Amino acid sequence: MSAKARARRTNFLLDVTLFVICILLLTPLILLIANGFKTPQEMLVWPPTLFPKDPTLENFHKVFTETPLLQWMLNSFLFALLSTVAIVATSALAGYIVGKFPFRAINIIFILFLATAIIPFEVYMIPLYFQVKALGLLNSVGGLLVGYLVMSFGIFLIRQNVIASIPDELLEAARIDGAGELWIFWYVVLPLLRGPLAALAVLAFFQAWTAFAWPIIVMTRKKSFTIEVGLANFQSAYTVDLSLLSAASAAVMVPSVLAFVLLRRNFVEGIAASGMKE
Amino acid sequence: MLRRKQFWFAIMAILPTFAIFGWVRLFPIIETLRLSMHEWNLLSKNKPFVGFQNFIELFSDNQFMDALTNTAVIAFGAMAVTIPMSMVLAAIIYHRTRSRFSGFYETAVFIPHVVSLVPAAMAWKWIFDAKLGPLNAIIMGLGGDALPWLFDPVLSVICIIFLVSWQTLGYGVLIYLVGFRNLPKSVFEAAQLDGANGFQSFLYMSVPLLKPITLYVSVVTLISGFNVYAQAYVLASDTQGAPGRQVRVLVLDMLENSFQNFRVGYAAAEAVILLSIVLLLTMIQFGLLRGKGGR
């Protein structure tokens, strides 16, 4: 066999292997969606069926009419949206400042930002909870937001991009033309940061959307649950109805997976940047 | 004059972010450190200083030691599964970069990482279910005995490791792919000319060259493993949601001590231990990187 033919055969085998692995990785999610279409009776059949014999939309109907799932999704969406706005705004401005204004005071502030970046949220969330409580913000999106207003990694990401892609000469030229600092930030710097800011926005949104430990302590009333907390408590609040539970999980999962597939480039850019900081 | 104007602009512009930062990060972090040395039952006004008493008590507290062990096993277990698998998978995907399916591969591997924790845990919960799940159906189909996956304390830790690894794999692959793309091509061409096959150049060249990446992914995986909570919350509570059956992990123990046993200072001491573990891991990473002369 010629070398070329052998290479082609190896490649074919590798493709097959990758396909099998990818399908295996996605199987739990596919099965979850399939379970959402099963009748409660079929869920109790042994051996379990992989795909519904008698698919029904009843579970989805029930989930949206009889449970506060929509309310929970709305809570999560609002929280994630506001958190994204806050993180993008603070990171853009602070990232630009620490990247381009190397005064000693600014450097000290940057070191403080960085030093706390590795401390997990779980470490300080209990004192933060009492701060939120003192403000009377428990069970409100505002209280939830307190934990997700800033992101050290976001500031770092923007700083790296500012240093790499915005030449000092450009800023100097604008200053000589008499432009004010805010004008420069708004009309010169921000447009050049569109890519990294989009990546950061996607990252921030997903971070808030999937938050769990913080919402579970701040949101204790059923109406104010986020979708993650709501789903997790679903299993104790409702009778054990696995098909209903699966339908609810699938209804939550599918939009976020679709959003990811559409925004994959931005997402990957953001995450990959986190690994490049050596 | 211009410089002074710039300085004041920089200060004024960074002030709002810094103020928020102090309020929601620096203050609660310092408060955690302070509370860990005090006793506070949530109700009483005074919080007496107890020094290291909380820490001393923690190490003779069976529930805490249980949580610490479980969490460490989960974190190291997930790392041991994730690192080799994501490295090999990334190598194959990188090798097939020009395949018309490469986009599909990357997306499929990464989806488990972006699915939110609770729906993902729900999916696995059914698979592991002792009475209804397909895993036991397969085992019995092959002639084995059904296992009580989510009821046995050891097996449920294994289940959590499985779930965590499945979620982290996509992240590992992504970072390794970046690593593979940054490797010097010429070295590999030279090796190929010398007759090294793909497997050999993976083992003797990629693996050592990717050491900094491996170190980074290991530390990130370990740190996120030590913060495991949602997975244990969903997966290891029985179908009725009885909390008694949960696999005890650090964050769970911390929240229970704070909000059910009303021992906030004690919980803060646990948080400080979690913090020390994370700092230690990060320092080891930096130390090893510097020892190798970076890259």
List the single residue in A with minimal CA-CA distance to B294.
Answer: A278
Query: Residue A249 and residue B119: Cβ atoms within 8 Å?
Result: yes
Q: How many CB atoms lie within 10 A of CB A160?
A: 16
Query: Residue B105 and residue A267: Cβ atoms within 8 Å?
Result: no
User: Residue B293: left (phi > 0), alpha (psi -120 to 50), or beta?
Assistant: left
Query: Residue A147 and residue B118: Cβ atoms within 8 Å?
Result: no
What is the per-residue pLDDT for B241?
A: 42
Indicate the residue of A44, A228, A257 with minimum beta-carbon distance to B118: A228
More confident: B102 or B11:
B11
Which residues from chain A sit within 8 angstroms of residue B137, using beta carbons? 46-48
Query: Residue A124 and residue B267: Cβ atoms within 8 Å?
Result: no
Task: Please report, for chain B, the start and end positions of each structural domain, with discontinuous segments joined by +.
Answer: 67-291
Query: Residue B111 and residue A29: Cβ atoms within 8 Å?
Result: yes
Which residues from chain B sit within 8 angstroms of residue A252, using beta carbons? 116, 118-119
pLDDT at B20 over 90: yes
List the single residue in B with minimal CA-CA distance to A250.
Answer: B119
List the single residue in B with minimal CA-CA distance to A104.
Answer: B7
Alpha helices in chain A (DSSP H): 3-36, 40-43, 58-66, 69-100, 104-117, 121-134, 141-146, 152-165, 168-176, 181-184, 190-192, 194-209, 213-218, 227-237, 242-262, 264-274
Residue B210: phi and psi, rounded to 5, are: -90, 10
Contacts with A255 (C-beta within 8 Å, 6 or more apart), sequence order: none
What is the per-residue pLDDT for B161?
A: 95
Domain with CATH 1.10.3720.10 in chain A: 67-237
Q: What is the pLDDT of residues A239-249, one digit of tens each?
A: 567 888 889 99
Which residues from chain B sit within 8 angstroms of residue A249, using beta carbons? 118-119, 122-123
Indicate the residue of B7, B140, B233 with minimum beta-carbon distance to A232: B233
What is the per-residue pLDDT for B239?
A: 47
Which residues from chain A sit within 8 angstroms of residue B171, using beta carbons? 271
Which residues from chain B sit within 8 angstroms of residue A233, using beta carbons? 241
Query: Residue B255 and residue A213: Cβ atoms within 8 Å?
Result: yes
Range of weakest confidence among A112-121, A184-193, B113-122, B195-204:
B195-204
Indicate the residue of A15, A119, A235 with minimum beta-carbon distance to B278: A119
What is the per-residue pLDDT for B149?
A: 83
Q: HEC string of chain B?
A: CHHHHHHHHHHHHHHHHHHHHHHHHHHHHHHHHHHCCECCCCCCCCCCECCCHHHHHHCCCHHHHHHHHHHHHHHHHHHHHHHHHHHHHHHHHHHCCCCCCHHHHHHHHHHHHHCCHHHHHHHHHHHHCCCCCHHHHHHHHCCCCCCCCCCCHHHHHHHHHHHHHHHHHHHHHHHHHHHHHHCCHHHHHHHHHCCCCHHHHHHHHHHHHCHHHHHHHHHHHHHHHHCCCHHHHHHCCCCCCCHHHCCCCHHHHHHHHHHCCCCHHHHHHHHHHHHHHHHHHHHHHHHHHHHCCCC
Give the C-alpha separation, B119 to A230, whole Å.
11
pLDDT at A32 over 80: yes
pLDDT grade for A117, boundaries at 50, 70 and 90? confident
Q: What is the pLDDT of residues B106-157, one digit of tens each?
A: 889 999 988 888 889 888 988 888 788 888 888 888 888 888 888 888 888 9
How far does A68 lie from chain B, in Å, by closest CA? 16
Give the C-alpha separation, B8 to B14, whole Å.
10
pLDDT grade for B5, boundaries at 50, 70 and 90? confident
pLDDT at B176 over 80: yes
Query: Residue B112 and residue A25: Cβ atoms within 8 Å?
Result: yes
Supply the mean pLDDT for chain A.
88
More confident: B248 or A235:
B248
Q: Which fold has domain B67-291?
A: MetI-like fold (1.10.3720)
Question: Mean pLDDT throughout B86-91?
Answer: 93
pLDDT grade for B182, boundaries at 50, 70 and 90? confident
Q: Which of A111, A122, A242, A246 to mutate to test the interface with B (most CBs of B within 10 A)?
A: A122
List the single residue in B with minimal CA-CA distance to A50.
Answer: B134
Query: Residue A232 and residue B123: Cβ atoms within 8 Å?
Result: no
Q: Which of B111, B113, B150, B163 to mutate to test the interface with A (most CBs of A within 10 A)?
A: B111
pLDDT at B243 over 50: no
Indicate the residue of B10, B133, B259 with minimum beta-carbon distance to A103: B10
More confident: B103 or B26:
B26
Indicate the residue of B108, B110, B227 with minimum beta-carbon distance to A122: B227
**How many cross-chain Cβ pairs, A to B, lie less than 8 Å apart?**
270
How far does A206 lie from chain B, in Å, by closest CA? 8
How far does A167 lie from chain B, in Å, by closest CA? 17
How far does B241 lie from chain A, in Å, by closest CA? 5
pLDDT grade for A170, boundaries at 50, 70 and 90? very high
Q: What is the pLDDT of residues B189-205, one digit of tens each?
A: 888 788 777 788 888 88
Query: Residue B92 and residue A109: Cβ atoms within 8 Å?
Result: no
pLDDT at B288 over 60: yes
Of residues A9, A1, A29, the one with CA closest to residue A260: A29
How far does B212 lie from chain A, in Å, by closest CA? 8
What ipTM goes with this model?
0.87
How far does A246 lie from chain B, in Å, by closest CA? 7
Q: Which fold has domain A67-237?
A: MetI-like fold (1.10.3720)
What is the per-residue pLDDT for A134?
A: 93
pLDDT at A125 over 90: yes
